[in-house]
Structure 1
C-alpha cells in the first residue's frame, strides 16, 4: 500500500488549508473545506470536516468512494493534491478529534497572522456544532504538486 512520505506527513501538521472534492453519480463536482487531516498507522488518511457544511459532498463520497484532497499552505501557496477511490465516511466527534481540530486551527491561524487576519477569522472557519464533526478515511492512490509555477501538476512519489 502506498503511504505519504515523511515530508508530506510533516506538511499535514503545518497549518495547511484543506479542500475536499468529490462528485455526484452524474459527475457534478462538489467541494468543501475540511479542518484537519492525519495519517493513520495503516497508511490511510483521515480527514475531519463539518457534516453540516459538507452534507452533499459527504453523501457523494458515501455513494462512490471517490475523493480528492488539496492541502495548501497559506504563506507560500505550496500545495499537494491527493486522490483516493475507497473513501468511507464515519462519525468522529470525540475528544481526540476535537483536540486535533483545535491544534490544526491554532497552526492555521498562526499561518494567517502575518497577513493581518485576526484569530477570529480562522476560528469562524473552524467552528463546527457539537456532534457535527465527521471523518473521511481513504487510501491515497496518487499525489501531485499543485504549487503554482513550473512544477505544478507533476506527480509526487508515495512510499510503497
Structure 2
C-alpha cells in the first residue's frame, strides 16, 4: 500500500515531545496477530511528522523485524516518562535499512535526551546508557509515514484518534 500523502494530525505538543526524544517502543505482530515488542535505541521525526525513523538493535529485535517484513505493518509509541503523555502511531509501507555513520549523531542526540528525560524520574545516566546501548553495525532503521495517530495518555482520551490543536 502507498503511504498516505498527508500524515495523521499530530497536535503541536505531541509533535514537540516526539521531536525532543522521549521513550519509544516499537511493536508488530505476525500474520496470526502474535505480538512482538522492542524498545528503540533512537528516533528521528522529520517535518511535521510526515516521516519517522526508529532505530532498533537487530540482534534483540529478530522477531519484530521478521513480523514487519512479513506484514509491512508496525505501531510505535512515544511516551514522556515523567508525565506518561503518550502518542501511538500506526503505519504500513515500512522501509527497513541498515544504520550507518550518518545515523550516529541521531542516536547520540536521542541518548542525551533520554538521559535528561529519565533523570527527571530518578533514573541515572549509567542505567540509561546501558538501556540504550548499541553497536552501530547491529542497528537497523525503520522508516515510515504514519497513517494513524492516537492519544494514548492515560485518562478519558486514551485510545482516541489524534486531533489537531
Task: Give the TM-score taking structure 1 as reference length.
Answer: 0.89
1:22-70 Cα deviation digits (max 9, x unpaired): 0112221110011222234592211111111111101110111100000
How big is the alpha-carbon RMSD for the aligned residues of Structure 1 and Structure 2?
A: 1.9
Task: Say whether the 8 Å CA contact 2:81–2:121 is kept in structure 1.
Answer: no
Q: Which residue of 2 aligns with 1:61?
A: 68
Does 1:52 find its partner at 2:56? no
Q: Which residue of 1 aligns with 2:104?
A: 98
Q: Which residue of 2 aligns with 1:125?
A: 131
Q: How many angstroms apart in 1 are the aligned matches of 2:116 and 2:155?
A: 25
Distance 1:6 1:115, change over 3 A: closer
Structure 1 unaligned blocks of 5 or more: none
Q: Which residue of 1 aligns with 2:39?
A: 33
1:79-138 Cα deviation digits (max 9, x unpaired): 0000001112110132x3111111111111111113221101110111112301111111
Structure 2 unaligned blocks of 5 or more: none
Task: Give the TM-score taking structure 2 as reference length.
Answer: 0.87
